[in-house]
Amino acid sequence: MAKINLTLDNLNEVFPGNFTQEQIAKAKTLFLKRLAELSHNYYKGKMQTIPKAPVIGFNWFNVWYTPGVSKISTEIRDNNELSYELSNRGNLVAVVSDSTRVLGDGDVTPPGGLGVMEGKAFLMKYLGGVDAVALCVDSRDKSGMNDPDKIIDFVKMSQYSFGGINLEDISSPNCYKVLDTLREECEIPVWHDDAQGTACVTLAALFNAFKLADKKMEDSKIVLFGAGASNTAVARIMFKAGADPKKTIMLDSKGGLHKNRKDIEDDPRFYPKWEVCTATNPDCVETIEEALEGADALVALSKPGPSLDPALVKKMADKPIVFLCANPVPEMYPYEAEEQGAFITATGRGDFPNQVNNSLGFPGILKGALLTNATGITDEMAIAAAGSLAKFAEKRGIKPDNIIPSMQEHGVFPHEAADVAMQAIEDGVARKTLTWDEAYNQAQKDIELARNMTQKLINEGYIQQPPPEMVDEAFDWAIKQVS
């Protein structure tokens, strides 16, 4: 049997010496999927609910519940804002999905999304000190079609239990209507992590990539490959941050987006794509080959699996920046892009350098919004988060294979939360005002509490260590599949 350190940190070192880079990449993906299957079955999920208040004696139940808690109900009745102080609402997020576009697997039925939504809640707690609950809903109408209005109604009705909403894995084009309607009509922040989260972290990585390449984003030609919720959000945030729409080309499965794309213009459900059509690609470029001619940066966010010829990198300008962010299999592997001259590569995966992953964004962004009891999350707050991530990395040093913080750099999250909180106050969406230091210290305290509590549960055996044989089984299985 293979012997692997349970932290998985030495994964790159244990593959057979005769494996090619492609075999190693495939084996990693298979290994992680198999280990996820085994470990989720072992733990029966990832999240649980535990009290945050003590039970000193039996009569304390009368304080936490009836009759004492009646006073809390009437206090909140008379001033709804007190729900943020007298309940856990101020630090609680709902992770809402209809499970219609889960990773690269598409529609996995409503309960099929629970693994991902629990994972989101897991990361929020451990990385951001934010409590979260997974809510997978059935958005299908009587004909079996997914109805965005059902998600909208659900969130609007349940918003009073939460301080924020994280939308996740809702298929296009429904995701556009759901997000924009809820941002407009809810009294709490609504965040679509597949769109806004990806845009935020991608922008942070672009800031530092352009800096290392000694280029200015506003002067650069940028190609966006893939035109779903993620890349359309990247475009919107990128333009607000200074990129030039006229020097930008986006492509979908039918070719370049431009003013002559009647198929997009005639379908009102795709209005974010039509906005890109009218703002970008003035020369109506149709193909990826032509689009990449002289391009400074490529941001690929398309369907998983090989879809780009690595030789295309040679068409790009000097010091090309190549982000290959389809998960779990990128559009081309980063080592293939580097062989063709890519100066900086990034993916959405943690087993390659420069992981552009939403997990760097949403814990800190949502924490910053919650700290201020914000009524919404503005695009400026997302840009502030991107700038915070980029500056955090720059302060500790950046280089082509390390342009953005990793999730292991714990200090990034309270720093990001504080920067977002300050932007919320500046944008006028904060119900609660505090200083940067106050926001940072509260975020740091909550994050340390979550991590220390988890570690204590592990140390005292309430959370079991994964059996070594389970990891070995997953690794050996993956090796056999690839050999």
C-alpha dihedral (218, 221, 223, 224), degrees to nearest 10: 10
pLDDT, tens digit, for every residue of 277-326? 999 999 999 999 999 999 999 999 998 889 999 999 999 999 999 999 99
Q: Which of 269, 304, 94 shows the shortest CA–CA distance to 171?
A: 269
Q: 22 pLDDT band (50/70/90 cuts)? A: confident
Domains of the chain in start order, with CATH, are: 58-192 (3.40.50.10380), 214-342 (3.40.50.720)
Please calculate the CA angle 159-165-169 and round it to the nearest 5 degrees: 130
Q: What is the pTM of this model?
A: 0.92
Residue 21: predicted pLDDT? 80
Catalytic residues: 65, 120
Q: What is the rounded distance in angstroms from the CA atom of residue 298 to the CA atom of residue 223?
A: 5
Strands (E), 293-365: 297-300, 321-324, 344-347
Q: What is the rounded distance in angstroms from the CA atom of residue 21 to the CA atom of residue 10?
A: 16
Helix residue ranges, H only, 65-113: 70-78, 83-86
Length of the chain: 483
pLDDT, tens digit, for every residue of 186-206? 999 999 998 899 999 999 999
Q: 1 pLDDT band (50/70/90 cuts)? A: very low
pLDDT, tens digit, for every residue of 48-99? 999 999 999 999 999 999 999 999 999 999 999 999 999 999 999 999 999 9
Q: Which of 97, 288, 272 shows the shortest CA–CA distance to 193?
A: 97
Q: What is the DSSP letter of 191?
A: E
C-alpha dihedral (291, 295, 299, 303), degrees to nearest 10: 30
For the record, the structure tokens of 319 come out as 């010091």
> Is residue 5 predicted with pLDDT exceeding 60?
no
Q: 12 pLDDT band (50/70/90 cuts)? A: low
Mean pLDDT of 416-440: 98
CA-to-CA separations, 297 to 150, 301, 372, in angstroms, rounded:
39, 13, 36
How are beta strands 164-167 and 248-252 bridged, if at all?
unpaired
Q: Which residues pair with 256 in a beta bridge?
A: 251
Q: Quick one: what percent of the chain has pLDDT higher than 90?
A: 86
Residue 10: predicted pLDDT? 62
Distance from chain centroid for Cα 247:
27
Maximum Cα–Cα distance for the chain, whole Å?
74
pLDDT, tens digit, for every residue of 344-393? 999 998 878 999 999 999 999 999 999 999 999 999 999 999 999 999 99
Q: Quick one: what percent of the chain has pLDDT higher than 70?
A: 97
Average pLDDT, the chain: 94
